């Protein structure tokens, strides 16, 4: 088991801050989602509206690519929205109200 702590991609020390590239699989999927973009695809605002519902479905292990496919497409394209999804998912998986 890999016990090494993951390195946060950001540090508050600006003099040394340089973000790391995302993994190739993620980058190539983003690029192809961009190439494949069409007028039915969600904007960031539309994605944000559904993000809480989508993340609860994902946390319950439901098939989000079938239930909310356009949101999944958007998250594969947009790094900022994907970050917000992962952050929200992390709360739902680790914290009980």
Partner 1 sequence: MTRRNNEQWIIDLRAGGDAQSAALSDLRTALMAGLPYALSRWLSPGDPLFEPLIEETAQDALLKVLDNLNSFEGRSQFTTWAYKIAVNLALSKLRRRQWQDVSLDELVGEDAEMINPGLDADPTAGPAQLAEQRDLLARVNRIIQEELTEKQRTALMARLVYGMPAERISEEMRMERNALYKLLHDARENLKRRLEREGLTAQDVLAAF
Binding site for partner 1 (CB under 8 A): 6, 8-12, 14-15, 17-25, 27-37, 48, 50-53, 55-56, 79-80, 83-84, 86-88, 90-95, 97
Of the two residues 70 and 93, which places its CB atom closer to partner 1 in the complex? Answer: 93
Of the two residues 36 and 63, which places its CB atom closer to partner 1 in the complex? Answer: 36
Shortest Å, Cβ 10 to partner 1: 5
Shortest Å, Cβ 11 to partner 1: 8
**DSSP, res 14:** G
**Of 71, 70, 78, the residue nearest 55 (C-alpha):** 71
**Of 47, 70, 62, 71, the residue nearest 92 (C-alpha):** 62
Quickly list DSSP for 45-83: HHHHHHHHHHHHHHHTT--HHHHSHHHHHHHHH-HHHHH
């Amino acid at each position: 088991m890999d016990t090494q702590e993951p390195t946060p991609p950001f540090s508050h020390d600006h003099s040394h801050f340089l973000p790391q590239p995302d993994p190739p699989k993620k980058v190539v999927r983003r690029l192809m989602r961009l190439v494949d973009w069409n007028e039915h695809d969600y904007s960031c605002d539309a994605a944000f509206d559904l993000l809480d519902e989508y993340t609860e479905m994902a946390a319950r292990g439901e098939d989000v690519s079938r239930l909310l496919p356009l949101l999944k497409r958007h998250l594969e394209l947009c790094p900022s929205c994907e970050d917000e999804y992962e952050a929200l998912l992390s709360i739902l998986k680790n914290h009980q109200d």
